[in-house]
Amino acid sequence: MFNLKNRIYISTFVNSFGSWLTFIAIALITKEKYGADHVALVFLVQTLPAIIFSRGLVNLIPPAATEKVYVVTQVLLALCSFAIMIDQSLFAIYVFLFITSLLKSLSNPLNNSLIGKWIPLNEQKAVFTKVGALQAGTVALAPALGAWIKIFFSSNILFLIDGASFLISVLILKELFIKNKIVNFTNEFTFKWSKIIAGVSPKPGDIPQAVQKVLFVWFLFLAVGAILNAVEFPAFQRSGMSEQMIGYALASWGVGSLIAFLFSNRLSEKLSGLALVVVMSAFVFGSNQYLVISCFFMAGALTCYMSGSIRSRLQKSVPEGYPAAPVWAYANQLTQIINLVAYGSVGFLIGFVGLNFFGVALVAATVLLVFQAIKHEVLTKQA
């Protein structure tokens, strides 16, 4: 039952679930105590470490120390969650978000590189898809449960669960870490400011050309996701959804992601890409609320499946002898940059140019994504 892959899945779910609970707690505390204006600002703080420090810090980590550093980040994240229970001033919240975001900007690339290290090549696509599905699927459960816990208990219970989740997720994988001699720290680290400074640039640097081609597909995937997130609420409202129906629609995305978990090896790669184009078109131009919800549900499944395909191909494109963690750190940096730019710009412009304009942009971006994914063998059978 608890083989390697199952341990990875359980650890992923526990870790992601706890993180979403803290996300809900921070948002509610900030809104209630300090006003809605601070909510956007405090989460803006979260994007900065990944953009500025992630690549440079990951570049300092020798491949042999990946497991060691990952465990340390999880322990420190747990301590941060316990510490915020003591002080929830606005300053403490800003510090908490900055530090935890910095630690996650390290741990996320390391986690992806460890999956590539532990899982055989022919199984990586299914594993990456299922890991992504579990991460997205917690969206369907954690917000409602988090709000319920806060109402009937307190925010500190959410932070307590989050802190425990980091430690539990590591314990679930303890055999792997012990096997890799996690307890034996050595003098492997050499701090260089030049690597930190070089990591700030959004340019790929010395990342191999084959990897850059897949990263371009990842870039397009992120752009599609950013545009979709910006237009989803206008699309919901145009279809005449009530607030309750919008809640169901948002939950349907997470449920769709869990469907991808169940069928990670049973979908046709190219057909799933073409289906995504159709679903995006029907979602953004549909006027029937049930059609819109159905399309959002299917988009959750199909984008999760494509995410797994891209992650798998990205890992496989890394040449032997080249560390995978810096590649994942660059992908993480791209994610934060695109989210920051696209959410702000699309959210601002949609009021001037309208939903249909960005609907066309969404469909066009999806078509380009699918074309490039097929061209670079992302949407093909992966050995």
Q: Do 185 and 226 share a domain, yes or no?
A: no
Pair of tokens at residue 128: 């990456």
Could you tell me if 99 and 64 lie in one domain?
Answer: yes
Overall residue count recorded for the chain in this entry: 383
Same-domain status, 103 and 233? no
Say if residue 212 is in the same domain as residue 320.
yes
185-195 pLDDT tens trace: 444 555 555 55
Are 311 and 133 contacting, i.e. CB atoms less than 8 angstroms apart? no
Range of the domain at 263: 202-383
Q: Is the pTM here over 0.85, yes or no?
A: no
| Same domain for 11 and 81 | yes
Domain boundary among 180, 199, 218: 199
- At 201 the pLDDT is 58
pLDDT in tens, 309-337: 999 999 999 988 888 888 998 888 888 88
To the nearest whole number, what is the mean pLDDT of the chain?
Answer: 84
220 and 331 housed in the same domain: yes
Contact 263, 309 (CB under 8 A): no
Q: Which residues contact 101 (CB under 8 A, 6 or more apart)?
A: 45, 46, 47, 48, 49, 50
Last residue of a domain, one of 149, 165, 199: 199
Domains in the chain: how many in total? 2
**pLDDT bracket for residue 383 (50, 70, 90):** very low
Q: List the structure tokens of 2.
A: 């608890």
For 23, 111, 137, the CA distances from 260, given in Å and listed in that order, are: 24, 20, 10
Q: Binning pLDDT at 50, 70 and 90, where does residue 93 land?
A: very high
If asked whether residues 7 and 44 sit together in one domain, one would say: yes
Domain boundary among 150, 180, 199: 199
Q: Three-state SS string across 189-210, please?
A: CCCCHHHHHHCCCCCCCCCCHH
Nearest to 278 by CA among 246, 259, 302, 309: 302
Same domain, yes or no: 256 and 345: yes
Q: Is 367 found in the same domain as 296?
A: yes
> Both 173 and 208 in a single domain?
no
